[in-house]
Every structure is written in C-alpha cells, then in structure tokens.
Amino acid sequence: MAKGKPAQAEPSACRLYLVTPPALEPAAFAPLLREALDAGDVACVQLRLKDCSEDDIRRACDLLRPIAQERDVAFILNDHPRLARETGCDGVHVGQQDTPYRDARKILGNDAIVGVTCHDSRHLAMIAGEEGADYVAFGAFFPTTTKTAEFKAEPELLSWWSEMMEVPCVAIGGITAENCAPLVTAGADFLAVVNAVWAHPQGPGAGVRALNAAIEAALAG
C-alpha cells in the first residue's frame, strides 16, 4: 500500500499482510524481508516476536522497520503499543489478552494503525469497529503450526462483515496460495500469513508471488 493504513486499500481489493516468524535473528532475516517485499504487492508487515526481551524487539524494529517503510509498506508491531510508538512503527496489533484497544490508541495517537484480533466473534468485531479499530482480524481459518489456535473462523464471517461494515477485515491462520480463494471471494481485505511466505520451499519471494497470483485469480473469478 501507499504508506498508511490498511483502511486506505482499494475497495474490493485483497492484499497481503506479512507476519514475521515468532523468532528471528534480525540481521539474518533482513535479506529475506527485502526479498519478500521486492517480489510483489504487500500492504504491511507485522513484527511478531514472542518470548523476546524488549531490547531484542527494539533491535529488530530498528533494523527491519526501515526496510518496510522505505518501500511504502506499513510496519506494525505485535502486542507492544508503547514500543511501537518509541521505535517509529506505523502501528500495533493487539489481541484480546493484550493492551485494550482504547489504551493502545491513546498511546499511539489517531494517525497510527491499530488492529484488533476478534477470533471468530461478530460481537468482538463490532466492539472493535465501533471503538475505532483500523482493521479487525478473524481466524484461524485453517490449521496452523505457527501457534496454538483456539478459535476456528469460517469464510461466511468475512462476507457478513464486509457486507455490513466499512472497517477492513484481515483473515489469518494457515492461509496458503492453494486454500486462500474462498477467503478472497468472501471479502477479506487482507490475508495475513506466516508460513506460506517464510517457509515457502522456493523462498519468501516465491511465496509472495504465489499468494498474489492466487488472490488475482480468485478476484478474477
């Protein structure tokens, strides 16, 4: 996307939202991130580091954030609104067990992107949308090995949401080039992926190309 919020995406377009692997060494990951972002359209990158110190997250932000922002790709930090503000990220993603949306918004201000996990819940999504979230995330749509997913979402949730609401929706969980078509046609504004890109056998560039080709094919009908 042009730098800014997922909300600025073209209506009815569906774009890629890359989430990093949960553990990475920033210097080794930097060329993989460049390869992914230079391979095709990507709307944003979420740095999602689990079980890392704040110092490690800061170091990763300092190295990886410019790679995304130089390419007009939004750089979002998972879980840590204060660190997101301090490190110059474009926004934060918060879950239901994380800093509440309103507090994250207060920390980051109105210009930042704040996205909220809503699992398979219309109710949580309505609340997040009414409170002002820039996007709501639903999942997991498919089995995933990246984390233990306790909720299972169905494509119908995306069609219901996109017909009712203006706030963009992100689909996440086990999404690949092979299985993404029903999510695209149901109205997902963004497909968030980890393994389909970073564990692609031909490398992350091939992962991005395969997903963008699958999105294009699904939109073409």
Ligand X SMILES: Cc1ncc(COP(=O)(O)OP(=O)(O)O)c(N)n1
| Partner that binds at residue 56, options Mg ion, ligand 3NM, ligand X, none, CB closer than 5 to 8 Å by kind | none
Chain centroid offset of residue 90 CA: 12
Q: Annotated binding residue at 55?
A: no
**Binding site annotation covers 146?**
yes
Taking CB under 6 A as the criterion, the residue among 96, 144, 159, 185 binding ligand 3NM is 144
Does the annotation flag 106 for ligand binding? Answer: no
Q: How many other CB atoms are there within 10 angstroms of residue 206's CB atom? A: 16
Residue 36, φ and ψ in degrees, nearest 5: -65, -45
Q: Please report whether residue 98 would count as binding ligand X according to CB under 6 A.
A: yes
Residue 140 binding ligand 3NM, by CB under 6 A? yes
Q: How far is the CB of 181 from ligand 3NM (least distance, A)?
A: 16
User: In whole angstroms, how far apart are CA 146 and each of 142, 143, 150, 198?
Assistant: 11, 9, 12, 11
Binding mask 75-104 for Mg ion (x = CB under 5 A): ----x---------------x--x------
Residue 92: HSE in the Cβ half-sphere, 13 Å Cα cutoff: 25
173 binds ligand 3NM (CB under 6 A): yes
**Residue 65 or residue 80: which is nearer to Mg ion going by CB?**
80
The yes or no reply on residue 174 touching ligand 3NM (CB under 6 A) is yes
193 binds ligand 3NM (CB under 6 A): yes
Residues 6+ apart with CB under 8 A from 27: 63
Type of residue found at 72:
D
Minimum CB distance to ligand X smaller for 48 or for 209: 48
Give residues 158-197 in contact with Mg ion (rule: CB under 5 A): none
Asked whether the beta carbons of 49 and 56 are under 8 A apart, the reply is yes
Phi and psi for 65 in degrees, rounded to 5?
-55, -45
Identify residues 125-164 at the interface with ligand X (CB under 6 A): 137, 139, 147
- Residue 212, contacted partner among ligand X, Mg ion, ligand 3NM, none, CB below 5-8 A by kind: none
Q: Which one-letter DSSP state was computed for residue 203?
A: -
- Is 50 assigned a ligand-binding role in the annotation? yes
DSSP 8: G
